[in-house]
Amino acid sequence: MKTLTVPGDPHSVTAIVLPKTEEFHDHEIVRINSSDGSQTVEKKIFRIVDGGEDKWELQFE
């Protein structure tokens, strides 16, 4: 399982834009941590779209 870090509350994340350095798949479950390490949530990727400029946009359910 891949782990991503975001500022703020990871429970409210509906999409993340990331560089195309890693491969992700639709319906893959990822762990999202808050940058201060106080909160963690697991979310399923609903859809992956091209975010432009060599980036992916991961959209969550």
- Predicted model pTM: 0.88
Kind of pairing, strands 29-34 and 15-19? unpaired
Q: Measuring CA to CA, how many Å separate 45 from each of 36, 39, 41, 52?
A: 23, 19, 13, 18
- Under 8 Å between Cβ of 47 and 26: yes
Mean pLDDT of 19-37: 95
H or E element: which one contains 5? strand 3-6
The string of pLDDT tens digits covering residues 43-58 is 999 999 999 999 999 9
pLDDT of residue 50: 94
